[in-house]
Amino acid sequence: MTTHPQPVTISVAAAEFGRDMEQGYATIAALLEESRNRGSQLLVLPEACLGGYLPSLGGGDETEESRQRRLKALPPALELDGPEIKRVIDMAGDTVITFGFCEKDGDTRYNAAVTVDGSGILGSYRKVHQPLGENLCYDAGDSYSAFDTPIGRMGMQICYDKGFPEAARELALDGAEIVASISAWPTARTATVENMEEDRWKQRFDIYDRARALENQIIWVAANQAGTFGSLRFVCSAKIVGPGGEILAGTGVEPGLATATVDVAALIGAARGGGMYNLRDRRPSVYRTITKEPIHA
């Protein structure tokens, strides 16, 4: 195991980020200061921190005029080794920070995440699973890899990825003991409710977070956007989930910072040492259809 030998204090945010990059940096700085005041070594921020998310999801039979308007409304595309990411690195110091942005690679854009500290980039990721027309704006990533950090071995996912158990399992099998799942997860578009706690997409978000932690017996850290952007209203619900599926800290449906001190080695050891060690007890030879290409009607 590559776990950090000491307990790790983790903070995770439900916070609002839009197109205004300077406001985004100010929000990151404020959350970083608060997390440091709480003694946190890891701060997990939402998807699309630098430049905001898409103003709407979908596409379908849009007109050419609508398509051009949508393309002009995309977030700024940033290079992984560019000055915008470096600015967060310079802010980080000894704190490990995970956050989302729109990555530019030549003429291609990706919905991306990066984990940094003051020494530089520790890991990067391009979103694999794309919901509701996101593929009209971004190309998809094609891999999951865990990476070592000063607070232990980590993995990253973005939003819709959490709906796919195979994705979290890939990271767990690669040794990730802490997974940062960052999102811009909105309320349901239909059958809307006044009380966000009752929103079916909010409930789905929470179920996925707890299930992914439980089935892999890992620490799951879920950040989310807050407020509204374009036509989207975000459910907040940032949380830290233990390897038994228990919520250790959360923001509920409000913006804020949730913090928990986690003895990663002890929690994972207890979960996996009680006779039910999910990664050990898998039977891959039986799962014959999991990696087959889907049949499209």
For residue 193, the model assigns a pLDDT of 86
- Portion of the chain with pLDDT greater than 70, in percent: 93
Q: pLDDT category, 1, cuts 50, 70, 90?
A: very low
Query: In the predicted model, is pLDDT for residue 65 greater than 90?
Result: no
Note the pLDDT of residue 58. Answer: 63
Query: Residue 212: which H helix or E strand, with range?
Result: helix 200-216
Average pLDDT over residues 6-17: 97
pTM of the model: 0.94
CB neighbours of residue 106 within 10 Å = 6
Whether the pLDDT of residue 244 is over 70: the answer is yes
CA dist 43 and 92 (Å) reads: 10
Q: What is the pLDDT of residues 178-235, one digit of tens each?
A: 999 999 999 998 888 889 899 999 999 999 999 999 999 999 999 999 999 888 899 9
Q: Is the pLDDT of residue 156 over 60?
A: yes
| pLDDT value of position 274 | 85
Question: H-helix or E-strand containing 203?
Answer: helix 200-216
Mean pLDDT value across residues 239-245 = 98
Q: Using a CB cutoff of 8 Å and minimum separation of 24, what contacts does 18-24 make?
A: 18/52, 18/229, 19/51, 19/52, 19/75, 19/76, 21/50, 21/51, 21/76, 21/84, 24/49, 24/50, 24/51, 24/52
Question: Within 10 Å of residue 87's Cβ, how many Cβ atoms?
Answer: 14
Q: What is the number of other CB atoms lying within 10 angstroms of the CB of residue 164?
A: 15
Q: How far apart are CA 13 and CA 29, in angstroms?
A: 12
- Percent of the chain surpassing pLDDT 90: 79
Query: Which pLDDT value is given to residue 265?
Result: 96
The residue-averaged pLDDT of 239-243 equals 98
117-126, 172-181, 183-192, 241-250: which has the minimum mean pLDDT? 183-192
